[in-house]
Amino acid sequence: MSEPGSFAIETTGLVKVFGTTRAVDGVDLRIRAGGVYGVLGPNGAGKTTTIRMLATLLRPDGGTARVLGHDVVREADMVRERVSLTGQFASLDEDFTGKENLVLLGMLYGYARRDANARADELLAAFGLEDAADRQVKHYSGGMRRRLDIAASIVVTPDLIFLDEPTTGLDPRSRNQVWDIVRALVADGTTVLLTTQYLDEADQLADRLAIIDHGRVIAEGTPGELKASVGSGALHVRLRDPEQRMEAERALADALNIPIALDSDPAALSARVNDAELVAHALSSLSQSGIEVTNFALGQPSLDEVFLALTGHPAEEETTQEEPVA
């Protein structure tokens, strides 16, 4: 039984080894029920492996994991009753129609044939797949396939759903549709754990997130906290006259009291600042010294910068989507 106030997911020292690869290397997570929890990491970070252990599809080689209060190894059946998984690659019967896929799952969950049919129709309508209901899945587009795959995971609404890179390889429109579905799930009380390689996706959807790299959690917190941990945003200034750059550097350094970076553009300077007031002061001191500014910008640190600061390498943005070929 899960006691009130306990975590939806709680792992201690979770480990999975494939041969010599430590795919998951001591992951500790504490995830509260409700909302979206994001797991962010580059290719090969161990996201899928972690999720598969939590969804009882892989047995951990070390550590423990409890999902909704149940141990994923000893009480796997109890976990399976309450969670569902939409894997990184669609797990659908390609030869079947969209509707048949859902009816089959409905019946496996215990619906009578007629109720399973009704439930399938309802889901197809809700996910904008009505027109494709009687088409074989192998003729679906990537976005349709994704939505059907998610629909298949919520034939019976789970208390917790794992979505493994639900938007990788989707166009912006399809991505938005998946986001709508995720938000609707959360509004409905389902806890969502999603993995992503896209920083803006984590920013948009996740209430909290863990950044993992090489099988370890390297940072955890709300997107805001993670950004704050890197310190600051960047001030970018561009001068009319590149000749004045040295002078501008001195003026800015005096006003901001921090090191100023000279960009590759001979007319540009930048600095990390965390106080917008100081920026106004610095800019006015530039004009007082007769230095003309053509352009300036003050940016929030992006999660990209967070990622870079934490791992020393940028998050890969290339997609790894491989649609299974029928």
Partner 1 sequence: MTTRTTSLPGTPDAISEDRLRTALSPRARPAKPGPVAVSLTFGWRALLKIKHVPEQLMDVTVFPIMFTLMFTYLFGGAIAGSTSAYLQYLLPGVLVQGVIIITMYTGMTLNDDIQKGVFDRFRSLPVWRPAFLVGALLGDTARFGLASAIIIGLGLILGFRPDGGASGLVLGTLVVLAFAFGLSWIWITLGFIMRTPQSLMAASMMVMFPLTFVSNIFVQPETMPSWLEAFVNVNPVSQLATAVRGLMHGDIETTALTVSLLSPVGLTAIFAPITMYLYRNKK
Ligand X SMILES: Nc1ncnc2c1ncn2[C@@H]1O[C@H](COP(=O)(O)OP(=O)(O)OP(=O)(O)O)[C@@H](O)[C@H]1O
Q: Which does 21 bind (CB under 5 to 8 A by kind): ligand X, Mg ion, partner 1, none?
A: ligand X
Where do the DSSP E strands lie in the chain?
9-18, 21-31, 36-40, 62-67, 70-71, 83-86, 160-164, 191-196, 208-213, 216-221, 233-239, 261-262, 268-273, 293-299
Three-class SS of residue 321? coil
Tell the smallest beta-carbon distance from residue 11 to ligand X (Å).
14
Interaction of residue 91 with ligand X, rule CB under 6 A: no
Report helix, strand or coil for 136: strand
> Counting contacts by CB under 6 A, is residue 97 touching ligand X?
no
**CB-nearer residue toward partner 1: 18 or 225:** 18
Confirm or reject binding of residue 48 to Mg ion (CB under 5 A): yes
Distance CA 220, CA 226 (A): 7
Binding pattern for the stretch 134-173 against Mg ion, x by CB under 5 A and - elsewhere = ----------------------------------------
**Which range of residues in 37-45, 141-149, 282-290, 291-299 is near ligand X by CB under 6 A?**
37-45
Rg (the chain; Cα; Å): 24
Q: Dihedral angle at the C-alpha atoms of 218, 223, 224, 230, nearest 10 degrees?
A: 40
Residue closer to ligand X, measured from CB, 164 or 305: 164
- Where on the chain is the footprint of partner 1 (CB under 8 A)? 18, 55-59, 77, 80-81, 83-85, 87, 89-96, 100, 104-105, 107-112, 115, 122-123, 125-132, 136, 140-141, 143-144, 147, 152, 154, 156-157, 173-174, 177, 180-181, 184-185, 187-190, 324
- Whole-angstrom CA distances from 20 to 24, 57, 62 are 12, 20, 15
